[in-house]
């Protein structure tokens, strides 16, 4: 029974029994305490805790989860996986223990032909909390389980709580007995791998307080609404129903394992350490695929770090399996095909997913290449010096400078018969962490140290006059150079200038700072930036272009009027786009950040999927209709509570005082809290041209637009391109898409014919290649460059044909060619050559090293590649040298 079929049966069963089927939440949870959705209950916490009324009395789901706390155990046990799917049924004050037990037993033991999962009751065991007589008696009454297969266990295994005050309760777990071949008799109480937990029924019935530990607390009493929270591991059910030994061999995971086997040329089941590596690859590739699909991208912190760690563990495992070159293109595509039935997004979003995966692999392979070269030098130096250990400082340098993992250093050193001074390495790592923490604390103090502005702020708030004036006369309150207060700044210096009043807008609310100048008696300052270092105070970062500016002197701020007008257009356009989004997508499409500068806006909003071309057009049309309608733009100052009562929307990330500024465009159609500058009427925006829409996370999207003259120039440029195409192709504008599609199809057909001709040309060289075989020791060898070729498959086919023509005596064929400018080498051997010691994988690896790349494969056929096509002759020489050394 396929994994997707098990999930379908589960959801169908509970839907027939009155449950609302809830789609899986994202792996990226909204819970600030969690990086990922680590359990099936996470999306339901607000309902289970009673903070939010549940929208349904009972529900069921198949929730995707990521958990990496046991990452080192992956591959070593039959059930540890980083990505897993948790089937759950939930009751929010509806049915309780009897219903949960009845549903679980019926689904598990009903015949497959009746829609059940078809488990033999004789294979099932149950555990209950040792004091939960009610659950124990229900299992006896509702099922045909004998009393000896219902075991009572303690709080450490059969009591659920969060470890915090709140809901808690006993649980009952269902186990599958895999049989005596897998361990000792005695039931789940033995804690043996023979008994696999497949379903956990949590009876959330008590409220606890005075929590001293996860299992030591005071029960206050029963909850007014008792809840059911169950979880059945889909992967565990799958490996049992599919008759395999572990989750890595199920239909959604095994294809990746098999692909890794093929890439490595090794056999699964022949070596325990290799088997663990194969399972790590299979698990981590799927986990990385699903994280990428939910919008996580590789980085050095948070969720991105976990993803990066998973991907790099795959690369390391493949390297230890003998594959030095890139593998993600194959492995991720295989995982995509295995998962797309259950999660179509992995196929529909494949281009973006694969782009991130391949880029991360390429980066880390470069890291490994640089680190390996240095490690090889250290190993050679150690052997030459007659020592058996690589110093901790050398291992730390590899880690710190090249990002080379310490465990890989240990593996490679061990293969070379050396050890590593791990204690010294760990000491250096601890010292580095201590320095990093101290540096972070120092930088935090520096960023938080605003005491230099204290005296200026004590003189009152900076008065901003820029809503009505583009020039304002004031006086210099302070001058700062390099963060220190000084009495003056002279020509050429960069300084901060504090004024009592200013017409220059300080960056905030997504609107960038104004451009302009500050002038006074004998000085002129070019304004580089305007910020609010502390609330109520505006600081101008300037370059003194003429004279010197001193504290106490008069100064006039002059705003660049053209830049300000364009910035106002962009800011007002942002409000229009926000309103258009909400009109089109609904009120949940709320702002999550923005950037407005002259002629350009960027707007982030809460939304979980890409916008279609039609939707983008509709949003753009609504916003431009608002421009056409010349809507009045008004601003009002009022209390925060009053503004909220009027429906004014707050800007993402902004903090507001008791008094706020409300900007209306067209009355309530667009009403937001905003301190930015705006046009007087929507017609002044001019034109809005949406030029981009993209993802900025699992639940946020981003639109970008050009505004005003910038929007017009972009459209004019596109019009010019269309005119050029219509002239060049002699095709009317409305027929261009069809004409271009026809040309693309013709080009594809021509390329196919060319490839066929090139393949035939290669095949015509077969007799000459066979005739040119030379004797190299015990082997007949064909080592030739083909020049250029269309594909590696063509080169591989020809190599196999040459090998077969050489007969039964020991033969080695090595063919190299440049494919799209990149070199490739194919090496193949016959049975007699392999018996004499020639291994294609070893020879391909040697040739690829000369090409500046990597390679490997099976003993009979292998492939390598690199970056230096000029080194093809050297690659062939490397094959002959390796044969001589064999």
302-325 pLDDT tens trace: 888 889 889 988 998 998 899 989
187-222 pLDDT tens trace: 999 988 889 999 999 999 998 888 888 778 888 888
pLDDT reading at 841 higher than 90: no
Q: How far apart are CA 37 and CA 838, in angstroms?
A: 50
* Mean pLDDT, rounded, of the chain: 87
* CATH architecture of residue range(s) 451-559: Beta Barrel (2.40)
∠ CA 616-620-625, rounded to 5°:
150
Burial track 707-728 (b if 16+ CB lie within 10 A, e otherwise): bbebbeebeeeeeeeeeeebee
Q: Is residue 674 annotated as involved in ligand binding?
A: yes
pLDDT score of 558: 97
How many CB atoms are located within 10 Å of the residue 150 CB? 19
Span 398-405, average pLDDT: 71
Task: Specify the higher pLDDT residue, 319 or 527.
Answer: 527
pLDDT score of 403: 65
Q: Is residue 571 annotated as involved in ligand binding?
A: yes
90-129 pLDDT tens trace: 999 999 999 999 999 999 999 999 999 999 999 999 999 9
Q: Number of C-alpha atoms within 13 angstroms, CB side, residue 510? A: 26
pLDDT reading at 443 higher than 50: no
Q: How far apart are CA 296 and CA 300, in angstroms?
A: 12
| pLDDT-derived band at 450, boundaries 50, 70, 90 | low
Q: What is the CATH number of domain 3-249?
A: 3.30.930.10
pLDDT score of 456: 85
Span 65-89, average pLDDT: 86
pLDDT score of 698: 46
Looking at 2.60.40.420, 3.40.50.720, 3.30.980.10, 3.40.640.10, the CATH number of the domain 564-715 comes to 3.30.980.10
Q: Which of 314-323, 553-562, 643-652, 709-718 has the lowest mean pLDDT?
A: 643-652
- Say how far residue 270 (Cα) sits from the centre of its chain: 34
pLDDT reading at 651 higher than 60: no
Burial class of residue 146 (count of CB atoms within 10 Å of its CB; 0-12, 13-18, 19+): exposed
Span 593-604, average pLDDT: 91
How many CB atoms are located within 10 Å of the residue 181 CB? 6
pLDDT score of 441: 44
785-814 pLDDT tens trace: 888 887 888 888 888 988 988 888 899 999
pLDDT reading at 732 higher than 50: yes
Which residues lie across from 5 on neighbouring strands? none
pLDDT score of 442: 44
Span 517-521, average pLDDT: 96
The structural domains of the chain, with segments of one domain joined by +, span 3-249, 254-370, 387-449, 451-559, 564-715, 765-885
Q: Which fold has domain 765-885?
A: Diaminopimelate Epimerase; Chain A, domain 1 (3.10.310)
Q: Is residue 171 annotated as involved in ligand binding?
A: no
Rounded (10°) CA dihedral 348, 349, 353, 355: 100
∠ CA 538-544-545, rounded to 5°:
135
pLDDT reading at 446 higher than 50: no
347-361 pLDDT tens trace: 988 887 888 899 889
């Amino acid at each position: 029974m396929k994994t997707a079929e098990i999930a379908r049966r589960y959801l169908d069963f509970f839907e027939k029994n009155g449950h609302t089927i809830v789609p899986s939440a994202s792996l990226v949870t909204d819970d600030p305490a969690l990086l990922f959705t680590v359990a099936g209950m996470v999306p339901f916490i607000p309902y289970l805790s009673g903070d939010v009324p549940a929208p349904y009395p009972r529900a069921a789901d198949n929730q995707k989860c990521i958990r990496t706390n046991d990452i080192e155990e992956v591959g070593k046990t039959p059930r540890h996986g980083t990505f897993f799917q948790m089937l759950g049924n939930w009751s929010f004050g509806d049915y309780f223990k009897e219903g949960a037990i009845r549903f679980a037993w019926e689904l598990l033991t009903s015949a497959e032909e009746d829609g059940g999962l078809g488990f033999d009751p004789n294979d099932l065991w149950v555990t209950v909390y040792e004091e939960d007589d009610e659950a124990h008696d229900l299992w006896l009454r509702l099922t045909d389980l004998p009393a000896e297969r219902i075991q009572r266990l303690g709080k450490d295994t059969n009591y659920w709580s969060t470890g915090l005050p709140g809901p808690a309760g006993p649980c009952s777990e269902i186990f599958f007995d895999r049989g005596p071949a897998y361990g000792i008799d005695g039931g789940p109480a033995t804690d043996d791998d023979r008994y696999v937990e497949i379903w956990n029924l949590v009876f959330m019935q008590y409220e606890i307080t005075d929590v001293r530990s996860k299992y030591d607390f005071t029960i206050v009493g029963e909850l007014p609404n008792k809840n059911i929270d169950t979880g059945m591991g889909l992967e565990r059910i799958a490996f049992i129903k599919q008759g395999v030994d572990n989750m890595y061999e199920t239909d959604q995971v095994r294809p990746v394992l098999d692909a890794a086997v093929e890439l490595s040329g090794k056999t699964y089941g022949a070596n325990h350490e290799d088997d663990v590596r194969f399972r790590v690859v299979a698990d981590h590739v799927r986990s990385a695929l699903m994280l990428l699909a939910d919008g996580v991208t590789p980085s050095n912190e948070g969720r991105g770090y976990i993803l990066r760690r998973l991907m790099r563990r795959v690369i390391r495992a493949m390297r230890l399996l003998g594959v030095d070159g890139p593998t993600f293109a194959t492995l991720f595509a295989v995982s995509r095909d295995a998962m797309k039935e259950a999660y179509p997004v992995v196929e529909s979003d494949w281009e973006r997913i694969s782009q991130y995966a391949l880029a991360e692999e390429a980066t880390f392979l470069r890291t490994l290449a640089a680190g390996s070269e240095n490690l090889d030098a250290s190993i050679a130096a150690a052997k030459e010096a007659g020592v058996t250990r690589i110093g901790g400082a050398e291992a730390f340098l590899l880690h710190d400078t090249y990002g080379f993992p310490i465990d890989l250093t240990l593996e490679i050193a061990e293969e070379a018969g050396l050890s590593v001074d791990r204690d010294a390495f760990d000491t250096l790592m601890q010292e580095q962490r201590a320095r990093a923490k101290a540096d972070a604390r120092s930088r935090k103090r520096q960023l938080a140290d605003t005491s230099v502005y204290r005296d200026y702020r004590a003189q009152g708030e900076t008065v901003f006059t820029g809503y009505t004036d583009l020039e304002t006369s004031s006086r210099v309150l302070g001058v700062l150079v390099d963060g220190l207060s000084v009495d003056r700044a002279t020509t050429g210096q960069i300084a901060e200038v504090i004024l009592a009043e200013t017409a220059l807008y300080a960056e905030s609310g997504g609107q960038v700072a104004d451009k302009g100048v500050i002038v006074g008696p004998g000085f002129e300052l070019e304004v580089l930036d305007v910020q609010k270092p502390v609330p109520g105070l505006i600081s101008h970062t300037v370059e003194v272009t003429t004279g010197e500016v001193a504290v106490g002197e008069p100064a006039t701020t002059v705003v660049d009027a053209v830049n300000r007008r364009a910035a106002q257009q962009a800011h007002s356009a942002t409000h229009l786009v926000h309103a258009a989004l909400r009109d089109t997508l609904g009120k949940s499409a709320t702002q999550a950040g923005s950037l407005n500068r002259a002629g350009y806006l960027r707007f982030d909003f809460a939304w979980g999927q890409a916008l279609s071309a039609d939707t983008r057009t509709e949003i753009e049309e609504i916003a431009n209709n608002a421009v056409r309608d010349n809507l009045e733009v008004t601003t009002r100052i009022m209390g925060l509570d009053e503004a909220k009562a009027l429906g004014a929307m707050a800007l993402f990330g902004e903090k507001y005082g008791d008094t706020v500024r409300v900007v209306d465009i067209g009355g309530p159609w667009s009403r937001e809290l905003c301190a930015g500058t705006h046009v007087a009427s929507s017609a002044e925006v001019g034109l809005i041209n949406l030029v981009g829409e993209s993802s900025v996370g699992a639940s946020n999207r981003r639109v970008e637009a050009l505004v005003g003259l910038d929007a017009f120039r972009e459209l004019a440029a596109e019009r010019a391109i269309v005119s050029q195409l219509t002239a060049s192709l002699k095709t009317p504008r409305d027929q261009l898409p069809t004409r271009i599609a026809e040309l693309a199809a013709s080009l594809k057909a021509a390329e196919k014919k060319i490839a066929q001709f090139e393949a035939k040309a290669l095949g015509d060289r077969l007799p000459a290649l066979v005739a040119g075989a030379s004797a190299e020791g015990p082997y007949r060898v064909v080592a030739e460059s083909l020049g250029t070729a269309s594909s590696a498959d063509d080169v591989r086919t020809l190599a196999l044909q040459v090998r077969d023509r050489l007969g039964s005596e020991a033969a080695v064929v090595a063919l190299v060619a440049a494919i799209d400018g990149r070199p490739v080498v194919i090496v193949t051997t016959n049975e007699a050559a392999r018996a004499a010691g020639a291994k294609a994988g070893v020879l391909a690896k040697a040739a690829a090293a000369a090409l500046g790349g990597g390679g490997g494969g099976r003993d009979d056929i292998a492939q390598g590649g690199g970056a230096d096509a000029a080194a093809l002759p050297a690659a062939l020489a490397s094959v002959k040298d390796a044969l001589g050394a064999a």
